[in-house]
Structure 1
Amino acid sequence: MVMRTWLKKARPRKLPFRRHVTRAAVALIYRDEPGSEALFFIQRARRDGDPWSGDMAFPGGRLQPGDRSSRDTAMRETGEETGLNLYREGLYRGRLSDLLTRHHSRWRPMVVTPHVFRWQGDTAFQLNHEARQGVWIPLAYLADPANQSRLPINTPLGTLTFPCCRYQDYCIWGLSYSMMREYLDKHGVS
């Protein structure tokens, strides 16, 4: 495989206050064998009180006291949620820009750091209770303008529309969509 340098040249945005708020990290896992370039997504399990219940996402979660770094968090959480062992079969490629969101049901800020890994194992996965489905989606499909859409969401402020990508019965939007777009833009697929 040709080593990609696109991510090393990227200058991801690091939010200066990230160490003073709740932090989370996710893993964008890609495979790049010719003819099967794809990103791995999970569909979150449906749970009461979870504002992103059932949404498409990248595996990940909150930093825990034992985690050495946000990259370690992304790797640990991926193993717990999907059975994909990034310590053994993931090649770390870099990070993308920090994103600001809110901490689940509270209005406190949370910073999410996406980390990118090239998958070097087989594509089988074993989901835990936090994930409902797992799917490898072709990069060409994700980048195709014909597959981009708008998602209306009812809010207290009225109906807002967000950009999204629809794949089969899945809809990628919000933070996951933003991370996906940054990845595709830096990868040169868009």
Structure 2
Amino acid sequence: MIYRHTEDGETELLFIQRARRKGDPWSGDMAFPGGRMEPADPSPRAAAERETLEETGVDLTNHGRFQFRLSDLITRQHSRWRPMVVTPYVYEWQGPQTELPNHEVAQMVWISLKYLAAKENQSKLPWRTPLGTVKMPCCRYQDYCIWGLSYSMLQELLKLDFEPGRFAPKATDASRFL
């Protein structure tokens, strides 16, 4: 998760719209940049930085300031039963406005944190399962829908207790700075 402060004092989060790909059940969905660890990655955080650079051209190593990590999320890979752990990291973007999405990304969108937190922008997305249709919580922005793991990460971020005028957890929440 990458946030930036705008000139007018707003805070925005970066989302990507995944490129449409045959066989990918999340094609076209909104997400945060990221991906799988590779054997050469020294840590999950290094993998997140590498994947972000590959997908978006956003260089967190040189222009991002690591803030904290959110809770791990357990999910599963696309059509496999094997569990997968997703570890979200939060960075403040302090670099240029240069964005170079690769073939995995259809679009990059910065969305105001105030907009994402507003109750009137929360909705439900009908999701068909073998057991019937489930209404999944989501946030709608223009023609985009943020749901699933991205929505869960967003909700955890929005629940954090922030210092006045700054987008960072209070110092008393030291466990998040690990």
TM-score, normalising length: structure 1: 0.82
Task: Describe the superposition over 1:52-91 as per-residue Cα deviations: whole angstroms up to 9, x where unpaired.
Answer: 1111000000111000111101100000000000000000
Match of 1:155 among 129, 136, 153: 129
Aligned to 1:119: 93
Query: Alignment partner of 1:73: what SS?
Result: helix
What CA distance in whole angstroms lies between the structure 2 residues aligned with 1:187 and 1:74? 24
2:42 pairs, out of 68, 78, 95, with 68
Q: Which amino acid aligns with 2:129?
A: T
Q: Is the 8 A contact 1:46 1:53 kept in 2?
A: yes
Contact 1:59 / 1:81 at 8 angstroms: preserved in 2?
Answer: yes
SS at match of 1:142: helix
Counterpart residue type for residue 112 of structure 1: V
The answer to whether the 8 A contact 1:50-1:105 is kept is no
Does structure 1 residue 58 correspond to structure 2 residue 32?
yes
Which aligned pairs between 1:27-176 and structure 2 lie closer than 5 A?
Answer: 28-33=1-6, 34-176=8-150
Percentage of identical aligned residues: 63
Aligned length: 162
Which portions of structure 1, spanning 4 or more consecutive aligned residues, are displaced by more than 2 angstroms?
32-36
- 1:172 offset after TM fit, Å? 0.0
The AA in structure 2 aligned to 1:151 is L
Work out the CA distance in 2 between the residues paired with 1:29 and 1:163. 22
Give the TM-score, by structure 2 length.
0.88
More divergent stretch after superposition (103-112 vs 162-171)? 103-112
Q: CA deviation at 1:161?
A: 0.7
Q: Report Cα offsets for 1:105-163 as digits up to 9, x if no partner.
A: 21211010000000001233110000101000000000000000000011111001110
Q: Distance in 1 between matches of 2:161 and 2:26?
A: 27
Q: Where does residue 174 of structure 2 map in the other structure?
A: none
- Structure 2: runs of 5+ lacking an equivalent: 168-178
Amino acid at match of 2:61: Y
Distance 1:110 1:119 in 2: 27
